[in-house]
Amino acid sequence: MKRIKKVLAVMLVLVMSMALAAGCSKSRQTMFGIMKDAGTMTKYSYDINAKLASSISGLENLSLTFNGETDGEAMAMGVKVSYSFITVDVDNFLTITKDAVYVNVQTLFDKLAPILLGASYSLEDFEEEFGTELKCIKLSLVDGMVNLNGGSNELMDTYISILESAFKDVKIEENKGEFTVRVEGAEEFSKLADALITALLDNEDTIISALEKSNVDDEMVKKLVDTYMDEFVAALDRFNREYEAGLTDEDIASIKEEVLNAFEETTGDAQLDDVSASYKEMFDELRTNKDDFVSEIAGLNGTADLTITNSLTGKEGSRVYSCTSVVNAESTDTDEDISLNIDSVMTESNDISVKAPESYTEFSDIIYAALVYAYENGLLDDALYDVY
């Protein structure tokens, strides 16, 4: 099982790298160069479908589809999950802008409630009981947390360089703008894994530097926490006034401090400003285990093959980028097999426009409703007044 999973791990790293390598500068027409050209799209729809089939318990008949569209300012997202006999298909349940995430609870509820709660329970029933509308929820973000225009050029160029280095000894076929690469046999797979890991290690400093620049730091998290604390205090103040709870300004300040302290205790070990140590540890582990990892793949007694095909067609404004990746592996020793197929398509269109929902419920309104619900059901007194 370990060897088959290592083959799958190499495949996933390659696919993720190829997805991330859609940068922002034009390049020559090569298998990896057209990824950079595809990255110049700002208005496009996307569809990513992954199908996993295996005789390994827990991995059989799993399918994931991510779809949506972006205009460079906002992104709409949907997902479809199929496992065994269960399928959940949720379109446009998430809209992301630079300053907020909008969750379409109505869509999620309509799809999940019949499975989890039964068909007789509606969102309207829950809203009536909870005391506020929940069809769409707005969750605030702070500037810099989300980049809808692609990542660091330096990082994307590095990914391209890594892929070109990993595949430098692998034949890439081209037919009318469509590029195909095939890797067949455990030995060839192990060589590709060796080349990929070597290229990653050779670019360690560049990768860590670029990741640090795009990382969510402590200051950003502090701003986000402050934003939500302001909404929490606004809800608490409203509840205090409307229900004559008798809280003074000092009481509210004390409650706020307690909540902040609890948050800091929970996240105190995260050390978001010092992520380089974590990245270096990951690279050190990769360096230490590289030979064992490669030899495990080479020692697979059975079959293993990988095929990746990609193309970029059309003129600017109506381009279509597609990439198909297929990996198959089978172990003769354990009689286990695994098959993974990933299809991704980006379709450019200048007509795409993603708008944030006009009707939504603020986080502060949800907190207020929760306070009212707890108060009216006798759940609030001990929890609230014990704080101070």
* DSSP letter string, 151-200: --HHHHHHHHHHHHHHTTTS-EEEETTEEEEEEESHHHHHHHHHHHHHHH
| CA–centroid distance for 205 within its chain | 24
- The model's pTM: 0.83
Closest by alpha carbon to 51, among 82, 7, 79? 82
Q: What is the 3-state secondary structure (H, E, C) of 233-279?
A: HHHHHHHHHHCCCCCCHHHHHHHHHHHHHHHHHHHCCCCHHHCHHHH
pLDDT at res. 350: 94
Strands annotated E in the chain:
44-54, 62-70, 74-83, 86-97, 100-104, 136-140, 172-175, 178-184, 302-313, 320-331, 336-348
How many C-beta atoms surround the C-beta of residue 234 within 10 A? 16
Q: How confident is the model at residue 297 (pLDDT cuts 50, 70, 90)?
A: confident
How many C-beta neighbours within 10 Å does residue 296 have? 19
Does the pLDDT at position 48 exceed 80? yes
For residue 28, the model assigns a pLDDT of: 42
The pLDDT assigned to 11 comes to 57
Q: Convert the pLDDT of each residue in 8-32 to its tens digit.
A: 566 566 655 555 444 333 434 688 8
Q: Which of 23, 321, 46, 17 is nearest to 151 (CA)?
A: 23
What integer best gives the mean pLDDT of the chain? 84
In sequence order, which residues have a C-beta less than 8 Å from that of residue 39 and are 6 or more positions away?
21, 22, 23, 24, 150, 156
Query: What's the rounded mean pLDDT across residues 300-322?
Result: 93
**Range in 6-15, 48-57, 143-152, 349-358 the model is least confident about:** 6-15
